[in-house]
């Protein structure tokens, strides 16, 4: 199956974008796709071989799930590569621009949901990240 690519531009310096993306105190503020969901818990051991765990939960308590992955590449303010527990790979690129950062994610799709649904869901989380980062 083809990989899915999403991206956004954040009007902030690379150091801030990296911090907002990688620090659990920030991850819990943006790592969900819509306002009726939240991220009550995030752990992040940002090193090669390190593990991250992020919990996404419906605010009404009807559903929750944990996303877990292991890092294989960490290049500060440039590149993060990890594999999720189901074996799918995610590449996150941070491209410094003269007036901000272009953030791109390239990921292996899963087989349960349509490609468009997956693209839209991941893009919503990326858009939420942009909104949070630029609002702080």
Burial of 10 (0-12, 13-18, 19+ CB in 10 A): buried
User: Cβ neighbours of residue 61 under 8 Å, at least 6 residues apart?
Assistant: none
Q: How many domains does the chain have?
A: 1
What CATH number does residue 106 fall under? 3.30.530.20
What is the extent of the structural domain holding 17?
Answer: 4-134
Instruction: With beta carbons less than 8 A apart as the criterion, state whether 5 and 121 touch.
Output: no
pLDDT in tens for each of the 136 residues of the chain? 699 999 999 999 999 999 999 999 999 999 999 999 999 999 999 999 999 999 999 999 999 999 999 999 999 999 999 999 999 999 999 999 999 999 999 999 999 999 999 999 999 999 999 999 999 9
Return the residue matching tokens 């953030």: 103
- The dihedral sign for the CA sequence 69, 74, 76, 80: negative
Predicted pLDDT of residue 86: 94
Predicted pLDDT of residue 52: 98
Instruction: Give the Cα separation of 29 and 24 in Å (integer).
Output: 9
Return the residue matching tokens 């390239």: 106
């Amino acid at each position: 199956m083809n990989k899915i690519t999403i991206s956004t531009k954040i009007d902030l310096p690379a150091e801030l974008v990296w911090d907002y993306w990688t620090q659990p105190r920030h991850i819990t503020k943006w790592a969900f796709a819509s306002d009726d969901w939240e991220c009550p818990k995030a752990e992040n051991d940002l090193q090669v071989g390190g593990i991250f765990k992020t919990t996404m939960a419906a605010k009404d308590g009807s559903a929750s799930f944990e996303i877990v992955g292991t890092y294989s590449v960490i290049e500060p303010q440039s590149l993060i590569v990890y594999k999720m527990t189901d074996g799918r790979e995610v590449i996150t690129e941070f491209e410094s621009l003269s007036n901000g950062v272009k953030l791109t994610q390239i990921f292996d799709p899963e087989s349960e949901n349509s490609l468009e649904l997956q693209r839209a869901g991941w893009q919503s989380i990326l858009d939420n990240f942009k909104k949070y980062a630029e609002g702080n």
